[in-house]
């Protein structure tokens, strides 16, 4: 009988050491919040969330944030009390489910927005997670800085006659997809929106783009001499440091 008890005890210790005993399901809500804007959700392809065990490097869970960008009034425009939620039931997030048998020091990464790879950045943090102690509500919020900039015209590697006026046109939104407009919540007049035109044998030119009247769309025209050019359009917010850029290469002949 004593031998039986001893074997049971040894077996229990073995299971415990391999993580199959006393493990608990632990839920962590993770959200990606665009700097000075709203949450990155389904409309922008989501943000990819990766949770790793810092000690081993093992990925414990990963997935995409899904849902809507949230309530502008709640997130940005109204005063908030301590501990107050800034989310609604459908606000974008990813609920990770970890199977833990001991307190674990983890890293959490948000890669986004996944729908605009040229604008994608990574934000991360680290924290201890205790088995069975869920993190819900607002959850872990990782801030994603920048703008999403898409050059619409000219097109990549487009060949243009030197006598033709070239239209530079770009679409610019916040990282959550929120529109940039004149006098809007994300006011274009407070941002620097310009095109940098460069060529190997010519001095770089910088021209400001102006609003078209269509939300998030900006343009200007320019005439260029024969040559190969890189046109980089950027948006910069001096208040927050948000910056975004896209570029194309063209041939003028």
Express each pLDDT in 20-59 by its tens digit.
457 999 999 999 999 999 999 999 999 999 999 999 999 9
For range 62-84, the mean pLDDT: 95
Distance in angstroms (rounded) separating the CA atoms of residues 187 and 198: 28
For range 10-23, the mean pLDDT: 54
pTM of the full structure? 0.88
Are residues 136 and 44 part of one domain? yes
Domain count, the chain: 2
Exposed / middle / buried, residue 34 (Cβ in 10 Å: 0-12, 13-18, 19+): buried
Q: Are strands 217-222 and 227-236 parallel, antiparallel or unpaired?
A: unpaired
Range(s) of the domain holding residue 208: 147-252
Sheet with 243-252, strands from edge to edge, namely 159-160, 243-252, 227-236, 192-199, 202-208
Please report which confidence band the pLDDT of residue 1 belongs to, taking 50, 70 and 90 as the band edges.
very low
**Pick from 144, 166, 191: which residue ends a domain?**
144
State the CATH number of the domain containing residue 236: 2.60.40.10
Are residues 182 and 138 part of one domain? no
* Whole-Å CA distances, 185 to 50, 140, 173, 189: 31, 25, 12, 11
For range 127-138, the mean pLDDT: 97
Region of poorest pLDDT, from 1-10, 84-93, 163-172, 187-196:
1-10
Please report which confidence band the pLDDT of residue 201 belongs to, taking 50, 70 and 90 as the band edges.
confident
For range 217-232, the mean pLDDT: 97
Q: Where are the alpha helices (DSSP H) in the chain?
A: 2-17, 72
For range 122-136, the mean pLDDT: 98
Are residues 101 and 56 part of one domain? yes
State the CATH number of the domain containing residue 77: 2.60.40
């Amino acid at each position: 009988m004593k031998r039986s008890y001893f074997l049971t005890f040894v077996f229990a210790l073995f299971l415990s050491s391999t993580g199959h005993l006393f493990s608990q399901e632990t839920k962590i809500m993770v959200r990606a919040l665009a700097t000075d804007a709203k949450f990155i959700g389904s409309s922008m392809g989501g943000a990819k969330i990766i949770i790793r065990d810092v000690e081993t490097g093992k990925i414990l869970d990963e997935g995409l944030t899904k849902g809507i960008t949230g309530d502008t009034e709640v997130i940005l425009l109204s005063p908030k009390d301590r501990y107050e939620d800034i989310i609604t039931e459908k606000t974008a997030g990813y609920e990770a489910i970890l199977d833990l048998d001991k307190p674990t020091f983890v890293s959490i990464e948000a890669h986004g927005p996944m729908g605009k790879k040229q604008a994608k950045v990574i934000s991360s943090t680290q924290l201890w997670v205790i088995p069975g102690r869920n993190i819900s509500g607002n959850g872990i919020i990782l801030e994603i800085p920048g703008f999403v900039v898409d050059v619409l015209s000219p097109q990549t590697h487009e060949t243009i006659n030197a006598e033709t006026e070239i239209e530079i046109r770009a679409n610019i939104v916040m990282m959550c997809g929120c529109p940039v407009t004149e006098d809007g919540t994300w006011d274009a007049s407070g941002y620097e929106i310009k095109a940098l035109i460069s060529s190997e044998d010519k001095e770089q030119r910088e021209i400001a783009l102006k609003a078209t009247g269509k939300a998030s769309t900006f343009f200007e025209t320019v005439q260029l001499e024969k040559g190969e050019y890189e046109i980089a359009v950027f948006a910069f917010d001096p208040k927050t440091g948000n910056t975004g850029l896209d570029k194309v290469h063209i041939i003028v002949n």
